[in-house]
Amino acid sequence: MSFANANISDIMATTIESRTRKIADNVTNNNAVLMQLSAKGKIKSFSGGYKILQELSFADNANAGWYSGYDLLPVGVSDVISAAEYNIKQAAVPVIISGLEQLQNAGREQMIDLMESRLSVAESSMSNLVTGGLYGDGTGSGGKEIDGLEAAVPLDPTAAPYGGIDGSTFTFWQNAFSDNTAAVGLDPTLIQGLWNQLWASLVRGQDRTDLIMCDTSVWNAYVASLQAQQRFTNTQKADAGFQSLKFFDADVVLDGGIYNGSLGSGAPAGTAFFLNCDYIHYRPHSARNMVPLSPNRRYATNQDAEVQILAWAGNLTTSGRMFQGRYDAVGV
């Protein structure tokens, strides 16, 4: 294949490569959960391996105890560290340009403008894809989607293993759950009392919920409960584009309004996730975090077209499931 401009094909890959960090940052900033994880330093890449391992502490050191004078101190092995394991999930957005478009946009500046516009669409598509996956249970698209909050903080933490650990066997691997009917869970006169109970069940010393993600119905009920009170907002979240209220010192954020082109929410209906983001981790692969899948030229075998693929690999992991809670206003 010949090109009117020999650098056109290279522009396609280099334009994606030059925007890699920007695209990754925009994906992170497109969701309040990922933004909170970024602020807490909980976005950590991994470089390889069959699965993603997330270390966790599941018990106190049994050697801890009081002593006096020459008492012998216990030095037995205390196995208190384990790891949850997560599959590596992959996502991609192909960016395609036809031979005719290459001829029509032969000038370097024109080609860059064309690629920038298509990459902007690919960027938003990838953001929406990852954001939607954050609420999934990992079974979507034939099990290829991220193990999102539906898996990490399910309605029944004993129903299925998560991260390779069975919550029905290990109680430390069970999230908290507030089960309410819609008449109760969405009642503005009751919601704060129910939230108090759930919030208190997730406190251990200084460990406590720092982010509450709500769907539209739960958000409306909580806002209605504040009508007669002063509303405390988080200016940092607002500056980042997320309007949030406060519950104690946790940010309460709406994930609703327009979702996937229509009114709705990314969060499940009638749900609020009470998250402690110190124990949630976003783990992209260091070599596959919004990068061109191949810097080489990719041609369709039966079309006059060139393709570059914006690619990502990784997963969402948890190292402390007991610190996560779910408020359900639907009833199960």
Q: Is the pLDDT of residue 118 over 80?
A: no
Mean pLDDT, residues 197-209 = 93
Q: According to the per-residue pLDDT averaged within each range, which of 82-96, 99-113, 239-253 is highest?
A: 82-96
List domains and CATH numbers for the chain: 8-54+83-168+180-327 (3.90.1690)
Burial 95-131 (b: 16+ CB within 10 A, else e): bbbebebbeebeeeeebbebbeebbeebbeebbbbbb
Q: Are 305 and 251 in contact (CB under 8 A)?
A: no
> In whole angstroms, how large is the CA radius of gyration of the chain?
24
- Tokens 């991260």 locate to 163
Mean pLDDT, range 69-93, rounded to an integer: 73
Highest mean predicted confidence (pLDDT) among 2-6, 96-100, 115-119, 271-275: 271-275
pLDDT of residue 153: 96
Confidence at residue 19, expressed as pLDDT on a 0 to 100 scale:
62
Q: Is 20 exposed, middle or buried (0-12, 13-18, 19+ CB in 10 A)?
A: middle
Residue 91 pairs with which residues in a beta bridge? 312
**pTM exceeding the 0.85 threshold for the entire prediction:** no
pLDDT in tens, 150-177: 999 999 999 999 999 999 998 889 999 9
Q: What is the mean pLDDT of the chain?
A: 80
- ∠ at Cα 123 (117, 125), nearest 5°? 105
pLDDT at 81 over 50: no
Instruction: Count other C-beta atoms under 10 Å from residue 250's C-beta.
Output: 21
Element (H, E) at 27: helix 20-29
Q: What is the tens place of the pLDDT at every residue in 214-247?
A: 998 999 999 999 876 655 566 555 454 556 789 9
